[in-house]
Structure 1
Amino acid sequence: MFDTMTLTKIVSAFCASLLVLLLGGWVAESLYHTGGGHGDGHQQAYVIDTGEDETEVVEDVPEVPFAEVYAIASASDGEKLWRPCAACHKLEEGANGVGPYLYGVVGRDKGSVDGFSYSSTLAEMEGDWTPENLSGFLEDPKGYAPGTKMVYRGLKDVEDRANLIAYLDSIGD
């Protein structure tokens, strides 16, 4: 049956096969990468000329004004984006959560929800929550209102912001 000599032979065979595998990998690597190492300044032996410069050309994409994106925004698509907001905000009038309620937020004065303790930055801001102002805040809350209590990182896609704002605007009607 199994004695110590048989067990030793099995373990030795496993180690020997692993060693052969590692040495085979090392030999194959040295055959295919003869440059002497990675990133040591060696150039490729043969370069195929494609007729293009090696520098990457970045075309300036003109930024579309938010008003144009908002004009074609979809409230139904914005409803799908509401889920992360629902963790802190409610859509019922007067029902504050961790954040102020967002029923009728489009067109409402900034920092004007009764019973909610705004950060001093938002409480002192002038003006209304226009779609453009909401877009700026949702893109980068900490950049728009430094010192805000909102910990959301921001919604970078302009179409997503427009859709979400269109959804919020449809709730306040």
Structure 2
Amino acid sequence: MQLKVPAVMMMLAIAAPAFADEPEIFNDIKVKAGEDLFNAECRRCHSVEADRNSYGPLLEGVVGRKAGSVADYPYSEALKNASFVWTAPALKAWIEDNQGFVPGTKMRHVGITDPVVQDFILAYLQSIKS
């Protein structure tokens, strides 16, 4: 099942040039849309709050963090042995096809292939600092 981009989010992506003089406003809109999409697709397994337990590893501060490095999380061997950092391109590749990006990972999800949705979720993740 592919996540559908709500019409307002698609309009935001199309209208981005209109916000050229207002980058902070557009970024705030992207972050909010990303939060909504994260809550719809990712929050069932992942938390962005350090004091909340979740099935998947904590995603607070994920951008710039070494893969497989959240203390006390039982990662798959594939992620324990991964030697990359969660950059924007790495996260987008993971969001689209985690099994293709890191074969052997235990995470199972329906890939989000829409680049607009990926960008919005990434904007939200980038806004969360630990």
TM range (shorter): 0.7 to 0.9
TM-score by length of 1: 0.56
Deviations 1:33-69 (A, max 9, x none): xxxxxxxxxxxxxxxxxxxxxxxxxxxxxxxxxxxxx
Q: Percent of aligned pairs with the same residue?
A: 39
- Are 1:96 and 1:116, in contact at CA under 8 Å, matched by a contact in 2? no
Paired residues for 1:4-15 under 5 Å: none
2:72 aligned partner: 115
| Separation of aligned partners in 2, 1:151 and 1:136 | 14
User: Does residue 1:77 correspond to 2:33, yes or no?
Assistant: yes
Moved segments of 4+, more than 6 Å: none
Task: Name which structure has the greater RCO, CA cutoff 8 Å, separation 6+.
Answer: 2
Deviations 1:98-120 (A, max 9, x none): 10010000111100000101111
| Separation of aligned partners in 2, 1:82 and 1:120 | 26
TM-score by length of 2: 0.73
User: Does residue 1:154 correspond to 2:111, yes or no?
Assistant: yes
| Separation of aligned partners in 2, 1:152 and 1:81 | 14
Structure 1 alignment gaps of length 5 or more = 1-70
| Separation of aligned partners in 1, 2:33 and 2:60 | 18
* Structure with larger Rg: 1
Structure 2 alignment gaps of length 5 or more = 1-22
Q: How many residues align?
A: 103
- Are 1:111 and 1:122, in contact at CA under 8 Å, matched by a contact in 2? yes
